[in-house]
């Protein structure tokens, strides 16, 4: 959006597109910019770069940047001829002689308001008040992307610039990595309220909301901070419960925020890092407990950890098994990624106990996704699976991981006669189940979760 403003201010025409579009490839362009997202999307990014390469006269006019390009620039330069810019566009001359620090430009909202793709949240200001984060979490890319915590342009000034150029917008989205770490939090919240987003604010007969889109740090929530946040229309309240060591701080933050009047929470629950399945199940259960105890709704979004350098999305941490991760993927397909705080929903999706949870994750994909359709077959599978001893189950999980490959599966199944009956539920006659629902693609190339 900021690159678009830079070029339009020069008098250039700008077209925005998402992905590979044949009509645009057929045209000639002075420049094409490709923005990369998560590193596990880099193979797709490279395919996109190669797709548009014939549309410019010189490879240097195909410019690639963004998160993935910043974290793993060599992955791109080793595979395609283009210009890679790593880091933020916060210095002059980065897009050519005389170009301004593009990061300071006003975002061009017209390019998302005028396309057929539906971007959420709609009709919102997108702003940032701070850079970086005070934390150095090993699983997070922010310390590499923005190593220093600092301040950006004043919020009131940012909103004024957008209003002058594009008019008033309904909602406010702040993209700061850790807004609560600011020693100017009081003035930031006061500015949000002054700019029209205090609690109860309405525009055109509709409620106005504020979204701290990257979440708030539960460890920094005090009673005073909770009351401060309650002075604006914060919706949703986004938190993270990344590991067991955060439990006390997380419980305390939810309790303080509930006391301040917040009733709906969205909590990101990371797994596949240094945790194990028991940790994930316990943290999800704590959300149910807090929801019941405080009379609130804490919905969870499990987030699978993938190392920055893993572009295949195949990482399995030492305390997890491939089948468990696969099972969670299938559960989240069925629940649209959300873990409801409703006890009945949770029990149906994840089991009523930890033992049921592990067993459920071991089930064949289609039995998990289509519970009612395959209820009878699932009962048969459960009978066979439960006959396996604990040591046999561990070996069976290894066999399932081994069979997760495209060729020679029938031969591999025959090499494991003790498990042939139960394997038949996963691969009938050695074949992979093909789903008839286009919305469900349970294969390892599916990119269905954030990094």
For the segment 170-197, what is each residue's pLDDT rounded down to a tens digit? 999 999 999 999 999 999 999 999 999 9
| Cβ–Cβ < 8 Å for 155, 188 | yes
Alpha-carbon distance of 313 to 38, in angstroms, equals 11
What's residue 116's pLDDT? 85
Q: In 10 A of CB 232, how many CB atoms?
A: 24
What's residue 443's pLDDT? 37
Using the structure block, give the residue that is written with the tokens 């629950």: 269
Going from N- to C-terminal start, the domains of the chain cover: 2-104, 110-350
Structure-block tokens of residue 271: 């797994």
Alpha carbons within 13 angstroms on the beta-carbon side of residue 176 total: 27
Structure-block tokens of residue 52: 């548009």
Bridge partners, residue 268, by sequence: 240, 301
Average of pLDDT values for 116-131?
91
Q: Is the pLDDT of residue 97 over 60?
A: yes
Per-residue pLDDT band for 440 (boundaries 50, 70, 90) equals: very low
Per-residue pLDDT band for 441 (boundaries 50, 70, 90) equals: very low
What's residue 404's pLDDT? 85
Kindly report the average pLDDT of the chain as a whole number: 93
Q: DSSP string of 351-388?
A: -SSHHHHHHHHHS-HHHHHTTTTTHHHHHHHHHHHHTS
**How far, in Å, are 28, 81, 308, 421, 446 from residue 46 at the CA level?**
20, 10, 17, 42, 17
What's residue 113's pLDDT? 84
Q: Is the pLDDT of residue 413 over 90?
A: no
Average of pLDDT values for 107-122?
88
Average of pLDDT values for 124-129?
97
What's residue 435's pLDDT? 63
Q: Is the pLDDT of residue 35 over 90?
A: yes
What's residue 438's pLDDT? 39
Structure-block tokens of residue 105: 């430009």
The separation between CA 249 and the C-alpha centre of its own chain, rounded to angstroms, equals: 23
| Cβ–Cβ < 8 Å for 256, 216 | no
The dotted CATH code for 110-350 is 3.80.30.20
Question: What does residue 117 show for φ and ψ, rounded to 5 degrees?
Answer: -75, 145
Alpha carbons within 13 angstroms on the beta-carbon side of residue 15 total: 12
Tell me the percentage of the chain whose pLDDT exceeds 70.
96
Structure-block tokens of residue 335: 């629940």
Tell me the percentage of the chain whose pLDDT exceeds 90.
88
Alpha-carbon distance of 252 to 260, in angstroms, equals 12
Pick from 325, 286, 278: nearest CA to 303: 325
Average of pLDDT values for 14-28?
95
What's residue 406's pLDDT? 63
What's residue 410's pLDDT? 81
Average of pLDDT values for 259-275?
97
Alpha-carbon distance of 187 to 146, in angstroms, equals 23
Average of pLDDT values for 414-437?
83
Strands 32-36 and 62-66: parallel
**In the CATH hierarchy, which fold is given to the domain comprising 2-104?**
Rossmann fold (3.40.50)
Using the structure block, give the residue that is written with the tokens 């600011």: 182
Q: Is the pLDDT of residue 451 over 70?
A: no
Average of pLDDT values for 328-345?
93
Q: Do domains 2-104 and 110-350 have the same CATH topology?
A: no
Q: Is the pLDDT of residue 217 over 90?
A: yes
What's residue 117's pLDDT? 86
């Amino acid at each position: 959006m900021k690159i678009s403003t830079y070029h339009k201010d020069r008098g250039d025409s700008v077209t925005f597109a998402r992905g590979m579009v044949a009509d645009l490839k057929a045209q000639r362009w002075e420049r094409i910019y490709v923005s990369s997202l998560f590193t596990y999307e880099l193979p797709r990014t490279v395919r996109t770069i190669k797709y548009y390469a014939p549309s410019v006269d010189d490879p240097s006019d195909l410019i690639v940047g963004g998160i993935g390009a910043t974290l793993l620039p060599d992955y791109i330069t080793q595979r395609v001829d283009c210009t890679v810019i790593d880091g933020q566009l916060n210095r002059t001359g980065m897009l050519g002689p005389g170009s301004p620090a593009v990061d300071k430009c006003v975002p061009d909202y017209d390019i998302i308001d005028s396309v057929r793709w539906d971007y959420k949240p709609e009709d919102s200001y997108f702003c940032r008040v701070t850079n970086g984060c005070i934390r150095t979490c090993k699983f997070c890319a922010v310390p590499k992307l923005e190593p220093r915590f600092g301040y950006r342009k004043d919020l009131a000034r940012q909103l004024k610039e957008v209003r002058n150029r594009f008019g008033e917008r309904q909602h406010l989205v702040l993209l700061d990595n850790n807004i609560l770490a600011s020693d100017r939090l009081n003035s930031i919240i006061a500015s949000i309220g002054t700019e029209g987003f205090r609690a109860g604010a309405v525009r055109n007969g509709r409620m106005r909301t504020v979204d701290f889109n990257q979440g708030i740090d539960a460890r920094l929530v005090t009673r005073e901070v909770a009351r401060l946040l309650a002075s604006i229309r914060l919706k949703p309240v986004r938190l993270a419960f990344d590991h067991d060591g955060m439990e006390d701080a997380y419980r305390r933050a939810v309790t303080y925020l509930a006391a301040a009047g917040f009733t709906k929470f969205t909590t990101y629950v990371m797994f596949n890092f240094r945790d194990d399945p028991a940790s994930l199940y316990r943290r999800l259960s704590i959300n149910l407990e807090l929801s019941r105890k405080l009379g609130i709704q804490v919905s969870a979004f499990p987030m699978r950890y993938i190392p920055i350098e893993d572009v295949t999305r195949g990482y399995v941490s030492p305390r997890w098994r491939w089948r468990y991760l696969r099972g969670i993927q299938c559960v989240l397909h069925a629940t649209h990624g959300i873990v409801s705080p409703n006890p009945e929903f949770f029990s149906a999706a994840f089991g009523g106990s930890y033992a049921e949870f592990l067993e459920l994750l071991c089930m064949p994909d289609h039995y998990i996704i289509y519970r009612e359709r395959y209820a009878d077959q699932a009962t048969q599978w459960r009978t066979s699976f439960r006959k396996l001893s604990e040591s046999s189950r561990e070996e069976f999980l290894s066999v399932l991981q081994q069979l997760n490959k495209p060729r020679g599966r029938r031969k591999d199944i025959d090499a494991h006669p003790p498990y042939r009956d139960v394997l038949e539920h996963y691969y009938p006659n050695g074949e992979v189940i093909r789903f008839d629902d286009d919305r469900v693609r349970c294969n390892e190339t599916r990119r269905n979760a954030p990094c």
